Structure 1
Amino acid sequence: MQAMQYEMTLPADYDMGIIRERVARVGHLLDDWDGLGLKSYLVRERGRYGSPVNQYAPFYLWNSLAGMNRFLWGGGFQRPVDDFGRPAVRQWTGLAYAEGTASRAAFAVRQREPLPDGIELSALMEDAAGDTERLAGADGAVLAAAAVDTHCWELVRFSLWEDDAPEAAGDVFEVLHLSAPGRERIPRGRQW
């Protein structure tokens, strides 16, 4: 599993209805993308759920690097680049994935945290995998994932929720659409 996200931060007075309409119009285009586990089309609106910004920030879980690369270099990514400019694309190596019992994803929570020097990496990654299972087991959880960026040593925790009061800490996003052609093929549990 590979996690990926890019963020388009928009002006404070931006009409987020434009993003909602865009996702309604084109969100289905990845509903059958080979190699994609899932893509959650996410937005944050300034002043809602503690967000300081208006932002369009899709989050992906990939089943294959070939699928991710085909998206980035084979045309799928060109549409947002043409519409918004080329954003920085964050990538994290998968640590763990777990399914929850809820079925409808309405909200997402993303928590990013730096990993300090001087800690035992294996123990930290085991803890992150265990936390992923516990988070997915919470009431209202659809799924949970954890991944790490070994360039800047950052852990990201990502979860989907059926209601607007998620139990996870972090940035809260509204889910506008979920493309999940390979969700059932995302490996469960820890990824090593």
Structure 2
Amino acid sequence: MHAKQYEITLPADYDMDVVRRRVAAKGHLLDAWPGLGFKAYLMRERGVDGSPVNQYAPFYLWNTAEGLGSFLWGPGFQRLCDDFGRPVVQHWMVLGYEDGGAAGAPPVAALRHRRAVPESMRTPDLAEELLTEARDVAERDGLVGVVVAVDPRHWEAVTFSLWAAEGTGRAAAEADGELFQVLHCSTPGLGALPRGQAW
């Protein structure tokens, strides 16, 4: 599995209803995309839930490299580039995915926690730590699902979770993470995602 995200940071006075309208009009286009586990259409709004920026930042979990490639090299991503400029695409190798107790419910919020992996950390220990974290997060009330992944080029770990319940802002503060609003979630291959360890 592959996780990816791009962030489009917008001016402080940008009308974020433009983003809401864009997602309302086009979000359904990936609802049946082959090879896609899920795409969470995410937004942060300056001054809301502690966000310092206006940002559109979709997060994808891909079942297949072919699905990811067909999107990234196809007309859909190019249209986004035409509208906003080509963003940096962050990419992580997925170590594991877990359903939460609210699996199947529409998520209303997402939490992303990124951190550098110390050079001294052994890779098997890193994998076990992240998989344990995913299992622990999956026990929390209101969780839809959680992904743990690593970018081995920059040695950055990410925990990304989707929530159907209120109170995620407190979790973000506790975890030193970034909180996003979920405007829509396309889930064509969610049922096919392997649960637990991804290899």
Per the normalisation by structure 1, the TM-score is 0.98
Q: Find the aligned partners of 2:193 and 2:49 in 1 and give their Cα distance.
A: 29
Is 1:135 aligned to residue 137 of structure 2? yes
**Contact 1:33 1:181 survives alignment (8 Å):** yes
Report which stretch shifted further, 58-67 or 120-129: 120-129
Q: Residues 141 and 165 of structure 2 are in contact (CA less than 8 Å); yes or no, is this contact kept in structure 1?
A: no
Partner of 1:50: 50
- Equivalent runs, 1:100-179 vs 2, <5 Å: 100-102=100-102, 103-166=105-168, 167=171, 169=175, 170-179=177-186
* Corresponding position of 2:29: 29
CA distance in 2, matches of 1:132, 1:79: 34
> Which consecutive aligned stretches of 4+ in structure 1 deviate over 2 angstroms post-superposition?
none
Quick one: distance in 2 between partners of 1:164 and 1:55? 21
Task: Work out the percentage of aligned pairs sharing the same amino acid.
Answer: 53
Per-residue deviation, 1:95: 0.6
| Worse-superposed segment, 120-129 or 51-60 | 120-129
The whole-number CA distance in structure 2 between the counterparts of 1:178 and 1:40 is: 4
Please give the alpha-carbon distance, in whole angstroms, between the structure 2 residues aligned to 1:37 and 1:133.
Answer: 19
Structure 2: any 5+ residue segments left out of the alignment? Answer: none
In the other structure, the counterpart of 2:83 is 83
C-alpha contact (below 8 Å) 1:70/1:76 kept by paired residues: no
Distance 2:167 2:50 in 1: 12
Cα distance in 1, alignment partners of residues 31 and 121 from structure 2 = 40
Structure 1 residue 76: Cα displacement: 2.1
Cα displacement (A) at 1:120 = 1.3
Question: Which AA in structure 2 matches 1:155?
Answer: A
Name the amino acid aligned to 1:57: A
Aligned-residue CA RMSD in angstroms? Answer: 0.9
Q: Does 1:190 align with 2:165?
A: no
Deviation at 1:78, TM superposition (A): 1.2
